[in-house]
Amino acid sequence: MKYRLPAQAGLMLASVLLACLAQAEDLFDADGYRSSQYRSPTPSSLEGVQIVDTPALQKLLAERPDTRLIDVYRRPFVQDRFVEDAPHSNLPDSLWLANVGDGNLAPQWQRYFTHYLHQQSRGDVRQPFVFYCRSDCWLSWNAARRAHAMGYRQLYWYRDGIDAWEQAGLPLVPAQPAELPAAFFTPTATP
């Protein structure tokens, strides 16, 4: 009788821990990309990718003007076109590759991502790329990780993104996503 309460408490704690582990597994897909709850605290490191803050990004851009800024903020894509649900601004001279930061990347978005990285790098895997979104945004973490898996080697993650840039009093410019070429559309089944 005297061990019944601690045993029940132990079982309850074990159940809670198992539920937390199951939920944590749901946050990432089988390949390790974050696949839900994209707007939540992000880690302070990413293998193969250097994290930069605003001063470090400014220094990088001054020293390496060939660095390409890649904004991965999401934008609804409906009936084969981007739909502006709200105005979006990003860092000057950025390429906005909307929707490439999703965890479970659909084939059309993978082709879109691959196409524009190859175009911007002219096939050089040493091309410096900086991926960003907003603060506490896993989309840029996913995109930088994905670029690393594709073989790119000079990668940076501007972890606090647009929010940090704006807080530093630096300019943002109105933006539109890069066009998704019609050839990349996923074929739809006909009835």
pLDDT values of the chain reduced to their tens digit, one per residue, 191 residues: 555 556 565 555 544 444 444 445 589 888 899 988 988 999 999 999 999 999 999 999 999 999 999 999 999 999 999 999 999 999 999 999 999 999 989 999 999 999 999 999 999 999 999 999 999 999 999 999 999 999 999 999 999 999 999 999 999 999 999 999 888 875 544 44
pLDDT the model gives residue 2: 55
Query: What is the predicted pLDDT for the residue at 189?
Result: 41
Q: Which CATH architecture has domain 50-184?
A: 3-Layer(aba) Sandwich (3.40)
Question: The tokens of 59 are what?
Answer: 């220094």
User: For residues 126 and 142, what is the distance between their CA atoms, to the nearest angstrom?
Assistant: 19
Say whether 27 sits in a helix, a strand or coil.
Answer: helix
Q: Please report the pLDDT score of residue 114 as a whole number.
A: 97
| CB proximity list for 161: less than 8 A, separation 6 or greater | 132, 133, 134, 135, 137, 140
pTM, rounded to two decimals: 0.84
Q: Is 38 exposed, middle or buried (0-12, 13-18, 19+ CB in 10 A)?
A: buried
> What span, in angstroms and rounded, lies between the C-alpha atoms of 107 and 98?
14
Q: Are 105 and 183 in contact (CB under 8 A)?
A: no
Find out whether 95 and 69 touch, Cβ atoms under 8 Å.
yes
Q: What is the pLDDT of residue 76?
A: 95
Cα angle 66-121-88, degrees, rounded to a multiple of 5 = 75
H helix runs in the chain, sequence order: 4-27, 54-63, 107-121, 138-149, 161-167
Report the alpha-carbon distance of residue 143 to residue 128 in Å, rounded: 14
114, two tokens: 């691959």
Task: Give dist(CA 152, CA 70) in Å, integer.
Answer: 14
Residues 85 and 58: beta-carbon distance below 8 Å: no
What is the DSSP track for 46-83? BTTBEEE-HHHHHHHHHH-TTPEEEE-----EETTEE-
